[in-house]
Amino acid sequence: MEIRSHTAARGWQWLVSGAALFRRHAGLWLVILGASFLALKILLLIPFIGPLFLVAMPVVLAGMMELCRAIEFGKPPAFGYLLAGFTRNTRALLLLGALSITCNLLVLATMMALGGDALQEIIRLSTQQQLTPEQIEQIRASAPEVLTAMLAGWVLSVVVMMALWFAPLLVYFDGLPPLVAMRASLVACYRNPGAFFVYGLVLFAVMVVAMPMAMAARMLDLGLWLLAPVVVPSIYASYRDIFVTPEEPADAESIQD
């Protein structure tokens, strides 16, 4: 499989292409993502059901990517596309979801192993409104150990995110086994550092601007959901740009427009 390398400016183009896909049927996207937001919030409150939903996330994402493909090629959009992940490579997508949860749990376990009691103590103290001088000194003494654990967790989280970024699309569209798809996704991100840096920098800047609103609403992930109408189609746009030979859409202008 060919994995293309692009310049840093391509990261911005992926967002532009994602926004173009969103604008073609903005109302449909808002309904889909709004329903997904509510469903996720509700299901995560239900014991055992929430984790099962997280396992199925690659299946849900595959359906959204099929909708992106339909819009790109000028087909009439329909909610039925969202079920596409349940009709092709479903078992592999579910296995990918399980691997995703496992990888993130391993990252958390690594952080706890490196930070030990110091990390747990700082987390506990952070919930208190007022700290004593002894507690402040305790935090200072634990800072190097906690910083090491946080840095290790951040590095591992980035690697896991890179491995999972394109994996659902590679499993669904290309039929790759989950581990092979994760490796291909990791290589694709590694070969396009500049593009992903620009891509991530733009998203980070928007999230910083949205942070006061998120804190006021007591929803720290609000920025992510506000960005979702552009981010979700942009994942498809970047996949097409890196992995797929360009094709001329049958009935619509290309996503690059």
Helices (H), the chain: 9-24, 26-43, 49-55, 57-72, 90-125, 133-165, 167-174, 178-191, 193-216, 222-243
pLDDT given for residue 253 in this prediction: 39
pLDDT of residue 250: 37
Q: Is pLDDT above 70 for 146?
A: yes
**Residue 18 in contact with residue 232, Cβ under 8 Å?**
yes
Mean pLDDT, residues 233-257 taken together = 67
User: For the residues of 92-113, what is the DSSP string, one character each?
Assistant: HHHHHHHHHHHHHHHHHHHHHH
First CA to last CA distance, the chain: 26
The predicted structure's pLDDT at residue 213: 65
The pLDDT, as a whole number, for residue 208 is 78
How does pLDDT run across 13-56, given as a tens digit for each residue?
999 999 999 988 888 888 888 887 777 778 777 777 767 778 88
**Residue 57 DSSP code:** H
* pLDDT of 252 strictly over 70: no
Task: Grade residue 131 by pLDDT with cuts at 50, 70 and 90.
Answer: low
- What confidence tens digit (pLDDT) does each residue in 63-91 have? 999 999 998 888 887 788 888 899 999 99
Read off the amino acid at residue 207.
Answer: M
Residue 249 has pLDDT above 60, yes or no: no
Tens digits of per-residue pLDDT, 187-241? Answer: 999 999 999 999 999 988 887 776 666 566 566 566 566 778 889 999 999 999 9
pLDDT, average across residues 92-101:
95
Q: What is the pLDDT at residue 174?
A: 92
pLDDT of residue 129: 59
* C-alpha dihedral sign at 190, 193, 249, 232: positive
Q: Rounded to an integer, what distance in angstroms lies between the CA atom of residue 60 and that of residue 183?
A: 21
Q: What is the pLDDT of residue 256?
A: 39
* pLDDT of 98: 94
User: Where along the chain do its domains lie?
Assistant: 9-243
* 81-109 exposure pattern, b = at least 16 Cβ within 10 A, e = fewer: bbebbeeebbebbbbbbebbeebbeebee
Range of lowest pLDDT (93-102, 126-135, 204-213, 228-237)? 126-135
Percent of the chain with pLDDT over 90: 41
pLDDT at 1 > cutoff 70:
yes
Rounded to the nearest 10°, the torsion over CA 70, 76, 78, 81 is: -20
Q: What would the pLDDT profile of 103-116 be if each residue is shown by its tens digit?
A: 999 998 888 888 77
- Residue 84: which residues within 8 A CB-CB, separation 6 or more? 62, 63, 66, 172
Which residue would you say has higher pLDDT here, 10 or 249? 10
